[in-house]
Amino acid sequence: MKWTNRPIEKQIKLHKEVRTIETLAPIRNNMQKYRTYKRLNQDELAKELGVTRAYISKLERQHFTPGTKLMKKICEFFEVSLGDMFYLE
């Protein structure tokens, strides 16, 4: 993002929006618990969800929050509610 070509008012507004997003509570998940319960390894789960094993690993270690479409796919695969799989810290 180029800040120098924007008026100062827009720069401040954008900075405040970014700051607001950064302060939201992170969304955590119970993927590893449910994956282990189903006796799947990360590679098998990755194939089922159409992502890489490395991405599954990062999700389980809470490094990323999946997008809404993937959240829905994960919940449908494990047959759990959104609230059971994902939670706020």
Q: Is residue 16 part of a domain?
A: no
Per-residue pLDDT tens digits for 74-84: 999 999 999 99
Count of domains for the chain: 1
Per-residue pLDDT tens digits for 28-59: 999 999 999 999 999 999 999 999 999 999 99
CATH number for 41: 1.10.260.40
Q: State whether residue 52 is helix, strand or coil.
A: coil
Q: Residue 30: give the domain boundaries.
A: 26-88
Answer whether 30's CB lies under 8 Å from 2's CB: no
pLDDT of 23 higher than 60: no
Q: Is residue 12 part of a domain?
A: no
Q: Is residue 70 part of a domain?
A: yes
Any idea of the CA torsion for 85, 55, 77, 22, to the nearest 10 degrees?
A: 30
Q: Is residue 72 part of a domain?
A: yes
Tokens representing 84 are: 């059971």
Residues in the chain, overall count:
89
Q: Is residue 30 part of a domain?
A: yes
Q: Is residue 1 part of a domain?
A: no
Task: Provide the strand spans (E) within the chain.
Answer: 27-29, 86-88
